[in-house]
Amino acid sequence: MGEADDGWRISGDPHFPVNRGRLCIKGWSATELLQHPQRLRQPLLHGQPVDWDTAYDYITERLRDLLQRYGPQTIGVFGSGALTNEKAYYLGKFARLVLRTPHIDYNGRYCMSSAAAASNKAFGIDRGLPFPVSDLALARTILLVGGNPLETLPPMAQWFEEQRANGGRLIVVDPRRTATARTADLHLAITPGSDLALANGLLFLAIEEKLVDLEFIRCRTVGYEAVRRTVLHYHPARVEQLTGLPESALRQAIRWLAEKPSLILTGRGAEQHSKGVDTVLAYINLALALGHIGQPGGGYGCLTGQANGQGGREHGQKADQLPGYRLIEVPEHREQVARHWGVDPQSLPGKGRSAWELLDSLGPKGIRALLVFGSNVVVASPDARRIQQRLQSLDLLVVCDAFLQETARLAHVVLPVTQWAEEDGTVTNLEGRVLRRRRVLTPPAGVKSDLEILRDLAHRLGHASHFPTAQPREVFAELCRVTSGSIADYSGLSYDRLEEQNGIFWPCPHPDHPGTPRLFAERFFHADGKARFHAVEHRSAAEEPDGDFPLYFTTGRTLEHYNSGAQSRRVSRLSRTCPHPVLWIHPELAAHYGIGDGAEVVVETRRGQAAFQAEVTSDIRPDTLFAPFHWGDAQAANLLTQGALDPTSRMPEFKLSAARIVAVHPPSPNGHPAKEPA
């Protein structure tokens, strides 16, 4: 429970089955943002406060002009996993019907897209955890690959604790000994970018030690033989060379993991690579081969990111998707959605560019106007300097946000929005449980909800009939109708039903349906009901360390801050505890460069430079540097990362760049870089 400085009190609900009353430090300090002095309360046009009509007039005139002169392909929309289901749905509808652009994508592309693509391929469906989170406590062994939930999902830590209390084991794969890895029975400090080789190597040993479940493979899967042949080349010596992990550790890991039921979980550390999809497929292969999937406490899951990371990818703000997890390129799916919307299927645009490709095409030769809802793209995108230049070349940049974050600072128009406690809505959590978010406060005068903004713009652009309301309850009812018969079927849900219960798991295809907590007990979602194995090979990252840039540079999160820091850097308690980005560096490496604890270190990659404060620690591999990406300007980790994408998911390689150290400055008294890097 936390008391914020402004007198609001936040507490967890002990009866809620996911967190059972526990909250994260960012949750219980979040009220500070509601009445924050920096909160936007008026639209800004070229940085000056204006009334809503003036802002709307400016936006709609520019949009009309650009649409007329250059066509819908030159307008882009960028959404977010921070948006409620209602907002994500309306945003996708707005892009396709009002702007008629194919180019809508969202920050979930940077987040869950590799795990999502792999789950769709293997299982025919993508729900982060295909089981309730309480199943974690039932697992004999949990293999956690590239995730740090003690810091990134603290309210979930209790399920790991309970699993431990039940006699279960935890194996953590991470180049760093994180808070989570410290609690593990086995920590595998892997070479960045080699998780796929590890998975194949573990399956090699499972086969050798006769731990695979041939009966499960025969009855419930397709494609094992090709995988078996592939992993025969991943003998322990080769895997040790690729991953840096000794055979003894691999054998220990696979023996524990083979006990039934056991679970494999992936986080962004395994997924945010240019081979993220294949890496996740390799872990799904392992879970299938061991026969874990389908029984409580066994299987595969991915740890979801943002509040609505799951629902945000189901309702049509992704470049290739329509509501209900339908695909925009499948004719029947287009027809189904077009029928609900009362439009000709032909009029729906096709598939648009993925998040980074969309941003990288901003400018006079590509997308000339961009509307951003719920993302700080200039801090969160790889190769951030380049994206900043692209944003600055736009004819129109509109950012809807509660704060003037780094991307909003570049905008022609900023529209101030309501925050979580001031609006109704639904989010779908990492288990696929659809939850109500309730309005408890009246928003300050002068701000509007995203739904109101979309409705108002649609009305001004001549599409009133498609956006009759900005009431979340009504938008949700429409969304539920539209998803009827789809894979993510919400048609049995309503605010009234969600009000009565602690959320309902989709699919929920009719009002009497109880929802679906466990997806794979009997069948998978491919037409034949079977899961698919995929033979996948290790491959190099887009950029590996070399003579010029000898170090691995990887990125991630700290407990105190959230994503681009747009919100958490404004919470006094959080920014006091963690005022600037800290670079993890091993003592051997630090000694080599003469770096002491607290020194300011300028790191360089082929994209640019960024400055961090050194934390010398043996909790990281000697060949690897780690920095969080929660800061902007000269402290932005994404000045160093690159837009190398996974060929299937279009996920950028956030977790691996080749880097070098170019300058070291003694600690400055305020802890900020003494010198702006070039």
Ligand X SMILES: Nc1nc2c(c(=O)[nH]1)N[C@H]1C(S)=C(S)[C@@H](COP(=O)(O)OP(=O)(O)OC[C@H]3O[C@@H](n4cnc5c(=O)[nH]c(N)nc54)[C@H](O)[C@@H]3O)O[C@H]1N2
Please say which residue, 429 or 486, places its beta carbon nearer to ligand X. Answer: 429
Size of the site for ligand X (CB under 6 A): 63
Q: What is the C-alpha to C-alpha distance for residues 341 and 334, in angstroms, rounded to an integer?
A: 10
Q: What is the C-alpha to C-alpha distance for residues 653 and 357, in angstroms, rounded to an integer?
A: 13
Site for Mo ion in 216-255 (CB under 5 A): none
Residues 6+ apart with CB under 8 A from 358: 76, 78, 103, 105, 319, 352, 367
Q: Which does 119 bind (CB under 5 to 8 A by kind): ligand X, Mo ion, none?
A: none
Tokens 């796929």 found at: 196
Q: What is the C-alpha to C-alpha distance for residues 212 and 254, in angstroms, rounded to an integer?
A: 10
| Minimum distance from residue 19 beta carbon to ligand X (Å) | 13
* Type and span of the H or E element at 240: helix 236-243
Among the listed ranges 111-119, 281-289, 417-425, 567-575, the one in contact with Mo ion (CB under 5 A) is 111-119
Among the listed ranges 48-56, 267-275, 389-397, 658-666, the one in contact with ligand X (CB under 6 A) is 267-275
Can you tell me which of 450, 452, 478, 604 binds ligand X, judged by CB under 6 A? 450
**What distances in angstroms separate CA 202 from CA 69, 123, 189, 242, one per listed residue?**
57, 21, 15, 13
Q: What is the C-alpha to C-alpha distance for residues 615 and 610, in angstroms, rounded to an integer?
A: 15
Can you tell me which of 263, 338, 400, 659 binds ligand X, judged by CB under 6 A? 400
Residues 6+ apart with CB under 8 A from 214: none
Residues 6+ apart with CB under 8 A from 169: 140, 141, 142, 185, 186, 256
| Minimum distance from residue 437 beta carbon to ligand X (Å) | 10
| Minimum distance from residue 305 beta carbon to Mo ion (Å) | 3
Please say which residue, 305 or 432, places its beta carbon nearer to Mo ion. Answer: 305
| Minimum distance from residue 585 beta carbon to ligand X (Å) | 13
Tokens of 106: 């969202």
Residues 6+ apart with CB under 8 A from 498: 426, 434, 435, 436, 504
Q: Which does 152 bind (CB under 5 to 8 A by kind): Mo ion, ligand X, none?
A: ligand X
Q: Which does 195 bind (CB under 5 to 8 A by kind): ligand X, Mo ion, none?
A: ligand X
Q: Which does 569 bind (CB under 5 to 8 A by kind): ligand X, Mo ion, none?
A: none
Tokens of 456: 């108002």
| Minimum distance from residue 107 beta carbon to Mo ion (Å) | 7
Q: Is 111 in the site for Mo ion (CB under 5 A)?
A: yes
Among the listed ranges 3-11, 89-97, 147-155, 664-672, the one in contact with ligand X (CB under 6 A) is 147-155
Size of the site for Mo ion (CB under 5 A): 2
The secondary structure of 465-514, three-state, reads: HHCCCCCHHHHHHHHHHHCCCCCCCCCCCCHHHHHHCCCEECCCCCCCCC
Q: Single out the residue of 141, 132, 79, 144 nearest to residue 106, CA to CA.
A: 79
**What distances in angstroms separate CA 488 from CA 311, 333, 648, one per listed residue?**
9, 13, 21
| Minimum distance from residue 500 beta carbon to ligand X (Å) | 25
3-state secondary structure of 598: coil
> E strands along 351-439, which residues?
369-373, 396-401, 413-416, 425-428, 433-437
Can you tell me which of 105, 195, 314, 478 binds ligand X, judged by CB under 6 A? 195
Please say which residue, 62 or 630, places its beta carbon nearer to ligand X. Answer: 630
Q: Is 375 in the site for ligand X (CB under 6 A)?
A: yes
Q: Is 115 in the site for Mo ion (CB under 5 A)?
A: no
Site for ligand X in 300-339 (CB under 6 A): 303, 305-306
Please say which residue, 101 or 272, places its beta carbon nearer to ligand X. Answer: 272
Q: Is 107 in the site for ligand X (CB under 6 A)?
A: yes
Residue whose C-beta lies closest to Mo ion: 305
Can you tell me which of 305, 507, 565, 581 binds Mo ion, judged by CB under 5 A? 305
Tokens of 352: 């648009």
* Type and span of the H or E element at 601: strand 600-604
Please say which residue, 559 or 601, places its beta carbon nearer to ligand X. Answer: 559
Can you tell me which of 124, 193, 297, 515 binds ligand X, judged by CB under 6 A? 193
Q: Given strand 504-505, what is the order of strands in its sheet?
A: 425-428, 433-437, 504-505
Site for ligand X in 71-90 (CB under 6 A): 80-83
Tokens of 613: 């404060």
Q: What is the C-alpha to C-alpha distance for residues 446 and 450, in angstroms, rounded to an integer?
A: 13
Q: How far is CA 132 from the centre of its chain?
A: 19
DSSP β-bridge partners for residue 300: 264
Q: Is 268 in the site for ligand X (CB under 6 A)?
A: yes
Contact 477, 491 (CB under 8 A): no
Q: Which does 373 bind (CB under 5 to 8 A by kind): Mo ion, ligand X, none?
A: ligand X
Tokens of 142: 């949990």
Tokens of 516: 């679906």
Among the listed ranges 61-69, 133-141, 243-251, 368-376, the one in contact with ligand X (CB under 6 A) is 368-376
| Minimum distance from residue 306 beta carbon to Mo ion (Å) | 5
| Minimum distance from residue 359 beta carbon to ligand X (Å) | 11
Site for ligand X in 556-575 (CB under 6 A): 556-557, 559, 561-564, 566-567
Please say which residue, 415 or 645, places its beta carbon nearer to Mo ion. Answer: 645
Tokens of 143: 């293999």
Q: Is 176 in the site for ligand X (CB under 6 A)?
A: yes
Among the listed ranges 34-42, 114-122, 242-250, 637-645, the one in contact with ligand X (CB under 6 A) is 637-645
Interaction site with ligand X (CB under 6 A): 80-83, 107, 110-111, 145-149, 151-153, 173-176, 178, 190, 192-193, 195, 267-270, 272, 303, 305-306, 373-376, 379-380, 400-403, 405, 417, 450, 554-557, 559, 561-564, 566-567, 626, 629, 637-638, 641, 654-655
- Residues of this chain that interact with Mo ion (CB under 5 A) are 111, 305
